[in-house]
Amino acid sequence: MYRIQNEERWIEKSLESVSEICQEIVILDDCSTDSTVSICKKFPNVVDIYERKEPLPLDEARDRNLLLEMALKRNPDYVLSIDGDEIIMPNSKEIFLEELNVIYPESKIFEFQFLYVWDQLNKIRYDGLYGKTWQPRLLKIDSDFSKLRIKESNYSGNLHCGSIPIPSKLSDRLIRSNVKILHYGNFDNNLRQKKFKFYNQIDPNNQEQDGYVHIISEKGKHSGSSGMELISLPDFMYWQFSKDSSKI
């Protein structure tokens, strides 16, 4: 399930990566003005798109619960939540199948390490929080979970509310998958500056996030103690894109 807005730059490759794993994909599009929706409609696995036409005040929990309802109507075995600027690591299908069916068949929640692609397709930022970000994104659905809802956060607009509901009895029993998720939302300086501005408009002077300064620099408590650190990924861990430079 996807919550997206104006993600034409990444959404096609993201949907390609998810289509290898998921039988059905549901999407909440929040007033996109680019070609995002038309790209989504090309994928046969995309079975439901909620197209919001008029903007609403930001409420991430509201949107994610609407999306969860859309997903649960499909009677899924699992729900996987991903954003339009996130792409599952190449060659992940076999890892998924082994973890879900062989290694952890009884486990309910899986979390994934996020790799923040930075300036080049084969480079990731790895200092501070960027080297240790894990998020729960996959939930096994059973009768106990049919009424689960994503909780509100302590942030304005319910930012950072989480992407899937976490039952309290399972909060300490998350499985760490070997699948990685590549995050492209901070790929270049233009994206980073937009994100920095957006967060500080919605959630100004947040001390916990240190003003979100880590997004645009090596400063702040969430950056590494020795400054920004970039590392190269081996070829099998990152995606190549078309040579159309406008997409990158």
For the stretch 172-182, pLDDT in tens is: 899 999 999 99
Instruction: Name the nearest CA neighbour of 110 among 192, 21, 187.
Output: 21
pLDDT at 5: 97
- Nearest 5 degrees, angle CA 234-CA 240-CA 246? 135
- What is the domain range of residue 179? 2-247
Please tell me the number of Cα atoms within 13 Å of 4 on its side-chain side: 33
Amino acid 30 reads: D
Query: Which two tokens mark 241?
Result: 């894109």
- Residue for token pair 């240790």: 132
pLDDT, tens digit (0-9, with 9 covering 90-100), for 144-176: 776 889 999 999 999 999 999 998 888 889 999
Instruction: Name the nearest CA neighbour of 51 among 65, 66, 61.
Output: 66
* Domains identified in the chain, total number: 1
Average pLDDT, the chain: 95
Residue 56 vs residues 31, 53, 60, 67, 82: alpha-carbon distances, Å: 9, 9, 11, 15, 21
pLDDT, tens digit (0-9, with 9 covering 90-100), for 212-236: 999 999 999 999 999 999 999 999 9
Query: Which two tokens mark 165?
Result: 């509901």
pLDDT, tens digit (0-9, with 9 covering 90-100), for 99-133: 999 999 999 999 999 999 999 999 999 999 999 99
Residue 1, class by beta-carbon neighbours within 10 Å (0-12 exposed, 13-18 middle, 19+ buried)?
A: buried
pLDDT at 201: 97
Instruction: Name the nearest CA neighbour of 115 among 237, 7, 8.
Output: 237
Instruction: Name the nearest CA neighbour of 111 among 126, 119, 124, 99.
Output: 99
- Nearest 5 degrees, angle CA 173-CA 160-CA 237? 70
Instruction: Name the nearest CA neighbour of 1 among 85, 55, 70.
Output: 70
Residue 232 has phi, psi (to 5 degrees) of -95, 140
Using pLDDT thresholds of 50, 70 and 90, give the confidence band for residue 246: very low
Contact call for residues 222 and 216 (beta carbons, < 8 A): no
